[in-house]
Amino acid sequence: MINRALLFLLLFVVLDTSAQEVYELWPGVVPGQKSPKADDEVKPDRGDGVTRLTNITNPAITVYEGVTDKQKRIGLIVCPGGGYQHLAIDKEGTEIAAWLNELGYTAFVLTYRVPDNLEGAIQDLRQSITWVRHHKDRYSIDADKIGTIGFSAGANLSVWCQSSLNMGTVEERSAATQNFQLLIYPAGYDEGPRNSLTPGLIINKFTTPTFIFATADDKYANSALVLAKALRDAKIPVELHLLPEGGHGYGLRAGNTAATTWPDLAARWLTTFAE
C-alpha cells in the first residue's frame, strides 16, 4: 500500500514521501466516483519483476525533476500501461521517469483510475496536464512544452484524452491539451469496422505532433499503423517506427532489441521541442 500524508498546497494536496513529491489530483471528491478514497492496491507478485497497482481511487502525480546541469524546459507526464486493469508503475512509470531525468526533462508519473474506468482516467490525465501547466514556473517548464509519454493502455489514454478536447473550447484546449505525445507499443486504436480507427476517436487539426513506436510481432501493432495513417491524413506531424520483433510490454528493460532501440529514437525526436 502507498502511505499518504496530506498537506494542502494551492488547490491540490501534496503527499509527503521519502523519495519524491506526490500530489493528489482531486483534493476533495473525485469526479464521478462513488467509493471513498483508499490507498492504491499492489497486485500479487507474478515473479516478473513488475510492480502493478490497481483499485486506484485517489489519482495522483509523482514529480521527478530533471538533472540540474542538463535541465530543459520540458515536462512529460508518464502514463503507465496495464490494459486499464492495473498500472505497471515501475516498468512503465518510475523507470521511464529516471530515463527522462537523465535527458534533462522533468517527469510526472500519473496514477490514473483503474480498473475499467476510461472516463475517469481521461479526467485524471486532463487534470494532470492542467496541474503541470499551472505549476510550470515552479518546475521551470514552458507552457507550450508539456507532453505525454504512454505505454500500451497509457498510450491509448493519451490519444483519448486529446480526442476529448479536440472539439472543446479554446480555454479547455489551452489548459489541458498536451503539446506533443509519445506512444510506445500503443493499443486500441483499430476497433472500427475492418480494423479501422476506433469509433469516437477524433483526429483533427488540434491533434498534436506524435511519436509512435511498435513492433510487427506485437498483436496490437495494427493500432500504430491505423493511428499513423489517421494523423497523416489530418496533416499532423507523425513519426512512426515499426521494428520486426520485440513483442509488447518491454519498457526500457534489457534483453529486448526494441527496448534498447525506442529510447534513442524518442530522445532524438524530443530534441525538436527542446530548441
Report which of 28, 10, 26, 1 is spatially closest to residue 124, judged by C-alpha positions. Answer: 26
Q: What is the Cα–Cα distance from 68 to 84, expressed in whole angstroms?
A: 34
Domain annotation covers residue 6: no
Q: Domain of 153: which CATH number?
A: 3.40.50.1820
Domain annotation covers residue 138: yes
Length of the chain: 275
The beta-strand segments (E) located in 80-209 are 87-88, 106-111, 146-151, 180-184
- Alpha carbon 56 to its chain centroid, in Å, reads 16
Question: What pLDDT score was predicted for residue 9?
Answer: 33
Q: How many helices (H) does the chain have, and how many strands (E)?
A: 6, 13
Cell of 223: 493500432
Q: How confident is the model at residue 13 (pLDDT cuts 50, 70, 90)?
A: very low
Cell of 219: 498483436
Question: What pLDDT score was predicted for residue 133?
Answer: 97
Pairing of strands 87-88, 52-54: antiparallel
With a CB cutoff of 8 Å and minimum separation 6, the contacts of 52 are 42, 43, 46, 82, 86, 87, 88, 89
Question: What pLDDT score was predicted for residue 120?
Answer: 97
Domain annotation covers residue 251: yes
Q: What is the pLDDT of residues 156-185, one digit of tens each?
A: 999 999 999 887 888 888 999 999 999 999
- List the domain range (segments joined by +) for residue 215: 43-274
Residue 17 scores a pLDDT above 70: no
Domain annotation covers residue 144: yes
Number of domains into which the chain is organized? 1
Q: What is the Cα–Cα distance from 75 to 66, expressed in whole angstroms?
A: 9
Beta bridge partners of 215: 243
Q: What is the Cα–Cα distance from 238 to 50, expressed in whole angstroms?
A: 31
Residue 251 and residue 95 in contact, taking contact as beta carbons nearer than 8 Å: yes
Q: What is the Cα–Cα distance from 141 to 232, expressed in whole angstroms?
A: 29
Residue 48 scores a pLDDT above 50: yes
Residue 63 scores a pLDDT above 60: yes
Cell of 141: 517548464
Domain annotation covers residue 37: no
Domain annotation covers residue 26: no
Q: What is the gyration radius of the CA atoms in the chain, in angstroms?
A: 17
Q: How confident is the model at residue 68 (pLDDT cuts 50, 70, 90)?
A: low
- Identity of residue 126: R
Residue 101 and residue 76 in contact, taking contact as beta carbons nearer than 8 Å: no
Domain annotation covers residue 27: no
Sheet (strand 41-42) strand order: 41-42, 52-54, 87-88
Q: What is the Cα–Cα distance from 148 to 155, expressed in whole angstroms?
A: 9
Domain annotation covers residue 89: yes
Residue 1 scores a pLDDT above 50: no
